[in-house]
Amino acid sequence: MTASTLTAAAGPLHSQHESRPLPPLAHPLPFTLLPTAPSSWDPAAVSPTLNIRLDGCIVPSEASEQGARIAYSHAVVIDGFVEDCTRGQLLDFLLNGLEADADPQQQQHSPLQLQQQQGSNQQQQQQQQRQASLQPSDSARWEQRTTDMAGGAATWGVKQHVLQELAEGRLPALREVHARLCKLYPECDIAHLPTDAIQLAPSPHVLHSKQEGKEVQHNVKQQQQQQQRQQAEQEVPLPLAKRRKQGSEPPPPATEHCIEGTAAAAAGGCSSRHGPVDCSCFVANAAVAGDSFSYHVDADPTSFPDGSPWNEWRREWGAETLLLDGQTDGGVFVAPRPCRAVLLDQDILHRVSAPSAAAGNRPRFSLVWKLALLPRHPGQQLCLARPEWGPPASIGSAARVDAVKRQMAQEQRRKNQAS
């Protein structure tokens, strides 16, 4: 795992005392809060490497007197978010599983404490040697059957049972990452994305027949159409969803896609060659030279349900994460770096780029969390960009919206002076 991407999305809260009926798809979701462990990490030391916003647009808002509000998508890059021992335990788990440790009970210690234990340096060296020599093809926990869109070329991803083990939340390094996220955003609760509740793809343990699956698909489609009709009747016209900014066809939501009858997500699977897309709460990839990836959004709130590569990653090896502003076709790229975390709203168009030929057969490992930031109070606004970090840099359409805001403010000042 050269870089971890932690994605988060927060939706509006509806008051419990609101008399107006909610839209068909606005129903309580079974959120599961992240399991954490005690951590001495201090978020005050965080200084983002990148703090940007893009995808600026105007969306309907009943809370606004004008009937609309300005919305952005945010992305933040934090270097040094975890230590080598924490990311080492994560990668070792992905490659070897819990059985890679001599005593699984010892994993109850914090990853920070593990680094200070006697002999830990030697253990880390042995661990790094294993990881440096092991390719995804050498591990029984990986398979080349994962794509980021339907019909895409197969790339390396972990098997379903590995994602299920991650979702259980028993790995100490995982709990340390969760603890740091919760400390970074103490004003909200952070939960795994409830995949079964927000996607069209039914899980095998929920549906017992193909006919039952077709009925669910039909019912959800009817609900979507009804919701779209209701939105079209509002006084404020519904803007195009952010996922349609590139053109008439929306980019594919979610990430993991099953092919050749292999399940590829913790929350469910598929049986056909081009089965349903499953939005798992975890995704693990190992990009290698020659792989092809497509731009996609992990979750658009408007579309629900719809030397060693471990210790070093040289700039010439490529494999950057690309973040695209769909309206202007401009954006930014984030190069892989050890201990780097990328936090982004899930409706940002993005993709991984394959390593360059200079990387040889080195895989670029990544582990993705699919999370939801839950407000604790009605009307509470949440944002990945912390106020103490200063204003985020606006990219593409976000910069255009900022320019419009400045022009309107100037016109208002002139009117005030004239009166």
pLDDT score, position 310: 42
Q: Report residue 100 as tokens.
A: 């890679």
Through-space distance between the first and last CA atoms of the chain, rounded to whole angstroms: 61
310 versus 391: the higher-pLDDT residue is 391
- pLDDT tens digits for range 165-220: 888 888 999 999 999 999 999 988 888 877 766 655 444 433 333 344 344 345 54
Q: Report residue 385 as tokens.
A: 């960009």
Give the Cβ contact number of residue 235 at 10 Å. 6
> In the chain, where are the structural domains located?
3-13+22-114+123-418
- pLDDT tens digits for range 139-164: 888 888 887 777 778 888 888 888 88
pLDDT score, position 184: 92
DSSP string, 58-104: EEE-TTSTTSEEEEEEEEEEETTSS-HHHHHHHHHHHHH-GGGSS-G
Please state the pTM of the whole predicted model.
0.56
- Separation CA 309–CA 315 (nearest Å): 12
What is the DSSP-derived secondary structure letter of residue 153? Answer: P
Average pLDDT for the chain: 68
- Separation CA 271–CA 145 (nearest Å): 13
> pLDDT grade, residue 282 (50/70/90)?
confident
- pLDDT tens digits for range 283-304: 888 888 888 877 777 766 555 4
- pLDDT tens digits for range 300-357: 655 544 333 345 677 778 887 888 888 888 888 888 887 788 888 888 888 888 888 8
CB burial of residue 87 (10 Å; 0-12, 13-18, 19+): buried
What is the DSSP-derived secondary structure letter of residue 293? Answer: -
Give the Cβ contact number of residue 279 at 10 Å. 27
